Structure 1
């Protein structure tokens, strides 16, 4: 499947302000089932751009601005080929078919912080909730992960949030609602409390059943590492497993590390008048 992604972000200010350096993560990650065919990134006003890869291998553009402006427009367009299967078969190492299992010492060292919960759980509520899905002394590993993925969708109502940041897993469970990034953060900490290596993913969602105008959006989900099978995508917002219709842009230890645009300006808070975001994901 060949897709075109158009992502436009516009920031408006009530007077000309000095823009601080911005960090942009807008180019998807290529993989065995995703090939980038072309990409472009345009900014107005023009910026000095420097490209690099961060510690996770994400492609990051650092933009520096010379002149004050009352508007910043960021436009990204990518054409790619997505070959992820709708019903993938994961070839998990025999020793990891049943939970609990142990990662190798090499895997433990490499996973590092991706094994440690991101948020405080002083009373063990998240850990207890995650363990409630374990039905016996030994359970099928993939079935357990699927059950927790679906369990979050049952326990939490999706709610679009314009506020910045991510709710803590305790807050998401308590109020029983949250955005896709809140639900992903809850899933990730559940995984880590159970001893799994898990990471946050940001990117785009393509919905082939929607109209061409509404077929795409920015999205957040999670990935869990299983020996031999590697990183497996879990999207609790939509109860989905696997990378079909998901286009990853960046991975990280937590959502705060993988926001599409990070930056600021020198001026008063009231100088900012608003922002607009438009995302179009369409099949070619």
Structure 2
């Protein structure tokens, strides 16, 4: 399936301001599930773009601007081909079929902080919530992860949240609601409490059943590392398993490390007027 993705972000200011360098993560890495066929990144006013890779291998463009401006427009255009199967079969190594299991020494060393919970849980509330999904002393690993992936939307409801940042997992449980990035963060922290290696993913979602006027969306989900199968996509916001309809752009230990655009300006808070984000994910013709 070929898809065209357009991601435009517009910043407006009350007067011309000096823009600080902007860090942009808008171009996916090619993988066995997604091939990038064409891509462009354009800034208005013009920017010098310097490309690097971060510690996770994500492609980072840093834009520097020469002149003050009262409006900044950043437009990314992509054409990708998505190969992920709707009903994938995961070849999990025999030693990881049943939970609990032990990662190898090499896997543990390489996973590092990706299998360590990030947030304090002094009262054990989050760990207790996660362990409630474990059925017996030994249980099927993939079934456990499927149950937790589907079970997040029991105590938590999805809501659109325009505020920056990600809620802490305990905050999401207390509020009983959150955005896709909040829900993914809760799932990631829960599975880390069970000993799994997990990472945050940002990218785009294509929904073939969406209304024709639905422009598509940026999205956040999780990946769990299972020996033999590798990194498996879990989308607790939609109770989906596998990479079908998902176009990953970046992975990291935490959502805050892979925000699509991070930058600032020299001026007062009153100088900032508005930010608008327009995203479209549509089938590509040709």
**In 1: Cα distance, 2:213 partner to 2:92 partner:** 38
**In 1: Cα distance, 2:211 partner to 2:45 partner:** 33
Task: Look up the match of 1:233.
Answer: 233
What 5-or-longer segments of structure 2 have no aligned partner? Answer: none
Over residues 90-142 of structure 1, what are the superposed CA-to-partner deviations in whole Å (9 max), with x where a residue is unaligned? 00000000000000000000000101111111111000000000110000000
**In 2: Cα distance, 1:195 partner to 1:234 partner:** 16
Task: Look up the match of 2:89.
Answer: 89
Task: Look up the match of 1:24.
Answer: 24
- TM-score by structure 2 length? 0.98
**In 2: Cα distance, 1:196 partner to 1:210 partner:** 33
| Residue 210 of structure 1, CA deviation | 1.1
Contact 1:208 1:215 in 2 (8 A): no
Matches within 5 A, 1:126-275: 126-275=126-275
SS at match of 1:92: coil
The answer to whether structure 1 residue 37 and structure 2 residue 42 are counterparts is: no
| Residue 208 of structure 1, CA deviation | 0.3
Q: Count the aligned residue pairs.
A: 284
Contact 2:223 2:232 in 1 (8 A): yes
SS at match of 1:154: coil
**In 1: Cα distance, 2:47 partner to 2:124 partner:** 47
SS at match of 2:7: strand
| Residue 236 of structure 1, CA deviation | 0.5
The answer to whether structure 1 residue 6 and structure 2 residue 29 are counterparts is: no
SS at match of 1:153: coil
What 5-or-longer segments of structure 1 have no aligned partner? Answer: none
| Residue 215 of structure 1, CA deviation | 4.8
Over residues 217-272 of structure 1, what are the superposed CA-to-partner deviations in whole Å (9 max), with x where a residue is unaligned? 00000000000100000001000000000000000000000000000001000100
SS at match of 2:113: helix
C-alpha distance 172-241 of structure 1, shift in aligned 2 (>3 A):
same
Runs of 4+ in 1 over 6 A off after TM superposition: none
SS at match of 2:32: coil
Task: Look up the match of 1:283.
Answer: 283
Q: How big is the alpha-carbon RMSD for the aligned residues of Structure 1 and Structure 2?
A: 0.7
